[in-house]
Structure 1
Amino acid sequence: MSISLVKGQKVDLTKGNAGLSSILVGLGWDPAEAESKGMFGFKKKAANIDCDASALMLNADNKLPDPKHVICFYNLKSPCGSVRHTGDNLTGAGDGDDEQISIDLANIPSNIEKVLMVVNIYQCESRGQDFGMIRSAYIRVLNPANKQELIRFNLTDSYAGMTALVVGEVYRHNGEWKFNAIGEGAHAKHIDILSQKYL
């Protein structure tokens, strides 16, 4: 049974889930519909927004040991292979996860203490887009062995004016792995700019 989280809540992943050595993180969102006035009155149209999910592998000092520890649309696999991005979704259209990140917990290097999940809007400045134009954003964690959803965090805050979201993190605690629902907005027009604060 899936656990529904609220912002700031932390839950165990591996403790109580015997044998769970890898997880699949799914991120989803939908473009909000905006009204536009046409010849026959108002009609609703969803904006074409390209959101990009990324994972940052951080050490005990909350820093990236290397820029290659940013797993994103142009770097789909960590150097050790324990974190993999399944590929870029350009529109966010349709049901289900828009992008997924696979995390092999058992093989994450010992110097990595957390995997931070973030989302940026591609070309947000030139397109004049921000997260106020996104609705139904969520992050969920699944057991890849049986596709069972373990936890879900729906992002319900207003993120108008924000061009990046720090969604959640998977982190080590006393030899186990836990999840922290963060849900904080940020200003960063590209994942490279967001990741610089962790170098």
Structure 2
Amino acid sequence: MAINLSKGQRISLAKDDGSKLDYIEIGVNWGAIEKKKLFGGVKHQAVDLDASIGMFDDSGKIIDIIYFGQLTSKCSSIKHSGDDRVGDTGGDDGQDNEVIQINLNKVPSNVTQLALVLNSFSQQNFGEIPFASARIHNGRAGQGEVFATFDVANDASFSGRVSMILGSVYRHGAEWKFRSIGVAVEARDLKTTLASFAQDYISA
């Protein structure tokens, strides 16, 4: 059964039998904005969100960035499914709009944190977006089970913000853990969002 994460919660990336997960997929799902028409009914406005991963060492230095402009990390341990520029226009279809595959065994030893961030490319703020969530799959999406879910919608603090730090996958001794963050930041682009993560969460 999937874990419903709350802000600040930390979980070990381990199977029910205690064995480590060596491969996970993080999927992000979101809805298009609904606007009321002048003479009744609604129209859907496409929402272009971008899920990205920043790879950091323990000093806060960025080692690599995986995003719509670079779909595979230089070390080949992380892959991005590609850019979704619309979102779900007919309500939540239960499918991830963008998926990031992470082979934890292949992440270089000098990388200690993987920051998962979400940016609104079209600058639509999170206060307008009807729903958004992140799901961790303990295997390939559609094959492995959903290990944990994290909803990031309907929070008054998101209004007016176009960038969000969803969470981080980080080393804890010999294992990997996930920390849910879910904080909207003042940054307006990927580079500045990752800088905010390094400043506020790299040693937290």
Instruction: Report TM bin, short chain.
Output: 0.7 to 0.9
Query: Matched residues in 1 for 2:184 and 2:137: separation?
Result: 24
Number of residue-to-residue matches in the alignment: 189
Deviates more, 1:181-190 or 1:77-86: 181-190
CA distance in 2 between counterparts of 1:166 and 1:193 reads 11
RMSD over aligned CA atoms reads 1.9
Aligned to 1:3: 3
Q: Are residue 148 (structure 1) and residue 145 (structure 2) matched?
A: yes
Deviation at 1:10, TM superposition (A): 0.6
User: Residue 81 of structure 2: which of 80, 86, 89 is its match?
Assistant: 86
* Shift in Å, 1:134: 1.0
Q: 2 CA distance for matches of 1:71 and 1:21?
A: 19
Q: Scaled by the length of structure 1, what TM-score is found?
A: 0.87
Moved more, 27-36 or 111-120: 27-36
Instruction: Supply the distance in 1 between the matched residues of 2:53 and 2:20 (Cα, whole angstroms).
Output: 23
Secondary structure at 2:194 match in 1: helix
The 3-state SS of whatever aligns with 2:127 is helix
Matches of 2:195 and 2:149, distance apart in 1: 28
**Match for 2:129 among 124, 131, 134?**
134
1:55–1:116: 8 Å Cα contact kept in structure 2?
yes
Question: Could you tell me which amino acid in structure 2 is paired with residue 102 of structure 1?
Answer: Q
5+ long unaligned stretches in structure 2: 200-204
Change (3 A) 1:34 1:4: same
CA distance in 2, matches of 1:12, 1:196: 25
Q: CA deviation at 1:164?
A: 0.5
Quick check: 1:15–1:177 contact (8 Å CA) kept in 2?
A: no
Alpha-carbon separation, structure 2, partners of 1:123 and 1:187: 15
| 1:89-100 pair list within 5 angstroms | 89-93=84-88, 95=93, 96-100=95-99
- Structure 1 counterpart of 2:12, which letter? D
Deviation at 1:143, TM superposition (A): 1.6
Aligned to 1:195: 194
Tell me the SS of whatever aligns to 1:25.
strand
What is the DSSP-based 3-state SS (H/G/I as helix, E as strand, rest coil) of the residue aligned with 1:54? strand
Verify the 8 A CA contact 1:164 1:188 in the aligned structure 2: yes
How far apart are 1:196 and its partner, in Å? 4.6
Structure 2 partner of 1:61: 59
Runs of 4+ in 1 over 6 A off after TM superposition: none
Which AA in structure 1 matches 2:132? A
- 2:164, 2:193 within 8 Å by CA — same for their partners in 1? no
- Which residue of structure 1 lines up, in the alignment, with residue 174 of structure 2? 175
What is the CA–CA distance in structure 2 between the aligned matches of 1:171 and 1:54, rounded to whole Å? 15
Structure-2 change in CA distance of 1:28 and 1:71 (3 Å):
same
Provide the C-alpha distance between the structure 1 equivalents of 2:185 and 2:32, rounded to a whole number of angstroms: 19
On the 8 A contact 2:114/2:168 being kept in 1, the answer is: yes
Identity in percent: 33
> Secondary structure at 1:131's aligned position in 2?
coil
Report the equivalent of 2:202: none
Higher strand proportion: 1
User: Structure 2 counterpart of 1:114, which letter?
Assistant: Q
Q: Following the alignment from structure 2 to structure 1, what is the Cα–Cα distance between the partners of residues 53 and 135?
A: 14
Residue 108 of structure 1 aligns with an amino acid whose one-letter code is: V
Q: Which residue of 1 is the match for residue 27 of structure 2?
A: 26
CA distance in 1, matches of 2:82, 2:24: 17
